[in-house]
Amino acid sequence: MIRMIACCVGIIMLFVSIGAAADTDQPAYIVAAISDRQRPAADKDRDAARRPADMIAFAGIRPGYVVLEILPGGGYFTRIFSKVVGSQGHLFAAVPDPKSSDAEPAAPQIAADIEYSNVIVVPLTADALNVLPPVDVIWTSQNYHDLHLSRVHADVAALDRTWFKILKPGGVVVIVDHVALPGAPAVETADKLHRIDPAVARAEMEAAGFKFDGESAVLHNPADTHTANVFDPSIRGRTDQFVYRFKKPL
C-alpha cells in the first residue's frame, strides 16, 4: 500500500512538473507580463478562462509593438499588453465618451499608473483613430458585438475601414467574441444576448479589405447553446468564444 501511494504521488508530481515546464515554453516577455505583480487578483483569477498567454501568442504581440485596444473594458488585457510591448512600445486604449453610460474608467486609471506609462487613452472616434501612428496589432475582446448595439448607432463598416487604414501592411486585427447562432441578426442579437455570429464579423472585416488569417479554438465551449445572454449565471464566464485573426495585405 505504501509503495502504491508513493508511486501515485510520483506520477502526480511528474504531471505537475510537465505542466510547469509547459508554462515556461512561452517567451519570457509573455510569462513576465502575466506574472506582473501589479495585476489585480481578480484578473489573475480569470486567467484560466481567458488564456492570456495563448491570446498574446496568437496575436503575435511583441516588445516594441504599437497596439490599439478597442473597448478595453475593465483593463484585463490592458495591463498585460502594456507589459508585453514594454518601454519601447505603445498601447493605445480606445474608449467611449467618459460622460456616456458606456464610459470605461479603468483604462484612464491604468494609464495614470507609472507602471503602465506606455498606455495612452484615446476616444473611440474616427477622428482620434485616424491620427494615430501606424499600428502593428488591433485587438478587441468580447466587445465587437457592442459596436452593433442599436443604441450605439455605430457605423461598423466605416470603423473597420478606419482600422484598415491605420494598420501597418502585414499587421493584424484580432477579434474575440461570444458566439451566436449561425445567421443570427447582428443588431438584434447584440441587443438581446451580447453575442455575434462569427460569420458576420468575418464578412465585415473582409469587406473592409482584410484577409482572414486564422483562428484559435482555445476558448471554444461546446456546451454553450449560444441562446443565453452572456450575463446569464448559467453561462457567464464560460461562453463559447471565437478568436479570429485578420491581416492587412502587404
Task: Give the containing element (helix H, strand E) for 141.
Answer: strand 135-141
**CA distance linking residue 173 with residue 65, whole number of Å:** 13
> Do residues 175 and 202 make contact, with C-beta atoms less than 8 angstroms apart?
no
Q: Is the pTM of this model over 0.85?
A: yes
Structure-block grid coordinates of residue 32: 513576465
SS3 content of the chain, % helix, strand, coil (to 5): 40, 20, 40
**CA distance linking residue 202 with residue 214, whole number of Å:** 11
Cβ-based neighbour number of residue 51 at 10 Å: 18
Q: Which of 50, 248, 234 is nearest to 168 (CA)?
A: 248
**Total residues found in the chain within this entry:** 250
CA angle 203, 209, 215 (to 5 degrees): 55
Q: At what angle do helices 76-85 and 52-59 cross, to 10 degrees?
A: 50
Q: Which domains does the chain have, with CATH numbers?
A: 27-247 (3.40.50.150)
Alpha carbon of residue 248 to chain centroid: 18
**CA distance linking residue 95 with residue 105, whole number of Å:** 9
Beta bridge partners of 137: 67, 172
Positive or negative, the Cα torsion across 152, 161, 169, 97? negative
For residue 71, the SS3 value is: coil
Cβ-based neighbour number of residue 215 at 10 Å: 16
pLDDT tens by residue, the chain, 250 residues:
444 444 443 433 333 333 333 345 889 999 999 999 999 999 999 999 999 999 999 999 999 999 999 999 999 999 999 999 999 999 999 999 888 888 899 999 999 999 999 999 999 999 999 999 999 999 999 999 999 999 988 899 999 999 999 999 999 999 999 999 999 999 999 999 999 999 999 999 999 999 999 999 999 999 999 999 999 999 999 999 999 999 999 9
Beta bridge partners of 177: 242
Determine the residue type at 141.
Answer: S
